[in-house]
Structure 1
Amino acid sequence: MLWSVDELKSRLQDPKLVLMDMRPPEAYANDHIPGARSFDIFGISLIDTRPEALDAFLWMIEHLIQAKGVNSDSTVVVYDDIAGMRSARLFWFLEFFGHDDVHMLNGGFNAWQAAGLPVTQEAAVPKGGNFKMKPRPERIATAEDVRVRLNSPSAVIVDTRSDAEYTGQLVRSRRGGAIPGAVHLEWTNNLNEKGFFKSADELTKMYAEKNIGPEKEVIPHCQGAYRSAHTYLALRLLGYPKVRNYLGSWGEWGNRLDLPIEHPAKP
């Protein structure tokens, strides 16, 4: 799931490699890894996971992935500045869409530069690919999936947002607060100070201390399913078998007055 800079360097000429630069276009234009394709979909979010809206949104994401030249047999590697949330979200999309050969560059572009490896300003213009989604329902959570699991001892909802968002001090939807019973663990805790994922031992200990175990169904969320995708990947790295990213996240939950919320006093 994670590739080191050395592994990417050794595979850079692989004709099946599709390298996705998830950073803003300005960063891509300044410098990027040779052969990378700019794919900034930050801000393209869904705030209604009811069936009709969800189906239309997923069709759009499938089309965008096809347009970047992804084929059914492509090896896709995603990166941003660090092992970050932008690349984690595309990692999750591809796993959810049934594409197993997807990886994240651990440490991101910063690690590539720190290793003294070549960069370029030459843009890659791909031909459209034949990628087709084969959704795995067990990898995604809708608002209804979350609602029916409130207070379930076999499931845990993980709030990956900031302290201020969790407590409702920072309001980014019609309502501030948290999903009732959610366990708060901000996504940045998955990383070390250099922007690499922490070791498996460190991650295992951290999640165990929050009673987020592999025997449970784990549903991370944030505001738009970027930060929660990062926690999804962290748990996948640990071998958790039942992890579902809540795609609508607080952008949906906080805006829907029919869904319950709470206001935690402390993060």
Structure 2
Amino acid sequence: MTSNIVDMVWLKNNLEHENLVVVDCRFHLGEPDKGYEEYKNEHIPGALYFHLENDLSAPTGKHGGRHPLPDAGQFSSLMERSGITKESIVVAYDDQAGGMASHLWWLLKYFGHRKAYVMREGFSHWKAAGYPTDDRLPATEKSSYTASPNDDMLASMEDVRKALEDPAVRLVDSRSEERYLGISEPFDPVAGHIPGADNENWQARSDSEGRLKDKSAWNEELQDYVNSGGDIIAYCGSGVTACVNVLALAETGRQAKLYAGSWSDWVSYGDNPVNRRTK
């Protein structure tokens, strides 16, 4: 498959594939246990559950943002206890318009996993279609896995600082317009955006029903970035939902780097500049 996205019809037809691993990534900011409760109640048959904060993030500290990037050891351990090997076909899904599933996709790619995909639709669409669901927790057999980080996919805080002086680098703020402008900030202590950043709300990459759009739509919406020559660095609040924009750009053939610490890391350094709307 050349795309990073699969449709739910494909997934339904391939649930019995011996190398397929389905991962439920449902998560709600501010209600960290809700996604797992939803999973325990009902999920795609055979799906594992990865928790954004317990499984897919390192412990928080002074810097690194609200969902710090896990290291290779932590990620390898997660893969091993989940029975995932380098040959596994991993399909991630959520019910948040790809906001959580795309983050797992990015982590898999970053740590060297080739066969990583996002389901275009959410769990609600799967259920509405009358596709099978289950409430049983799958058994797994421990595997062997060695994660190999690709730092070409990553932008550090220092990289972003340098980008402020380089007009060829495009900074993409993936949060809502209200957070970008500094009108509201529900999660972080400082409101606003990194100077020079454009605003491309990650939610615009999906349709009104929360399905990820297709490549042709993204080619049109992101044409300015697709045709640009310099580096693209995407960020959001904590390096999670920005992965939707990274995914969309990847579908168009354009690589974007992820500033994993994102806004929550940026504002943890008191001397970093901030732009916000003025009255």
TM-score by length of 2: 0.86
Residue aligning to 1:27: 38
Say yes or no: does 1:204 pair with 2:219. yes
Q: Which one-letter code corresponds to 1:257 in the other structure? A: G
Tell me, yes or no, if the aligned pair for 2:226 and 2:252 is still in contact at 8 Å: no
Q: Which one-letter code corresponds to 2:206 in the other structure? A: L
Q: Which runs of 5+ in 1 are unaligned?
A: none
Instruction: Quickly say closer, same or farther: Cα 1:57–1:97, change in 2 above 3 A.
Output: closer
Displacement of 1:22 in angstroms is 0.8
Aligned-partner Cα distance in 2 for 1:222–1:55: 14
Aligned-partner Cα distance in 1 for 2:178–2:69: 32
Aligned-partner Cα distance in 2 for 1:265–1:184: 17
Aligned-partner Cα distance in 2 for 1:61–1:8: 25
Say yes or no: does 1:40 pair with 2:51. yes
Number of paired residues?
261
Within 5 Å, give how 1:5-154 maps onto structure 2: 5-23=8-26, 24-42=35-53, 44=57, 48-49=63-64, 57-154=71-168
Q: Which one-letter code corresponds to 1:123 in the other structure? A: L
Tell me, yes or no, if the aligned pair for 1:83 and 1:104 is still in contact at 8 Å: no
Tell me, yes or no, if the aligned pair for 1:212 and 1:218 is still in contact at 8 Å: no
Instruction: Quickly say closer, same or farther: Cα 1:256–1:174, change in 2 above 3 A.
Output: farther
Say yes or no: does 1:164 pair with 2:167. no
Give the structure with the higher percent helix.
1
Q: Which runs of 5+ in 2 are unaligned?
A: 27-34
Displacement of 1:49 in angstroms is 4.7
Instruction: Quickly say closer, same or farther: Cα 1:57–1:136, change in 2 above 3 A.
Output: closer
Q: Which one-letter code corresponds to 1:156 in the other structure? A: R
1:220-264 per-residue CA deviation (whole Å, 9 max, x = no partner) reads 101111110111111111110x31111000110012113222124
Instruction: Quickly say closer, same or farther: Cα 1:96–1:56, change in 2 above 3 A.
Output: closer
Indicate the percent of aligned positions where both proteins have the same amino acid: 29
Tell me, yes or no, if the aligned pair for 1:49 and 1:142 is still in contact at 8 Å: no
Say yes or no: does 1:236 pair with 2:250. yes
Say yes or no: does 1:195 pair with 2:210. yes
Which range moves more in the overlay, 38-47 or 164-173? 38-47
Say yes or no: does 1:251 pair with 2:261. no
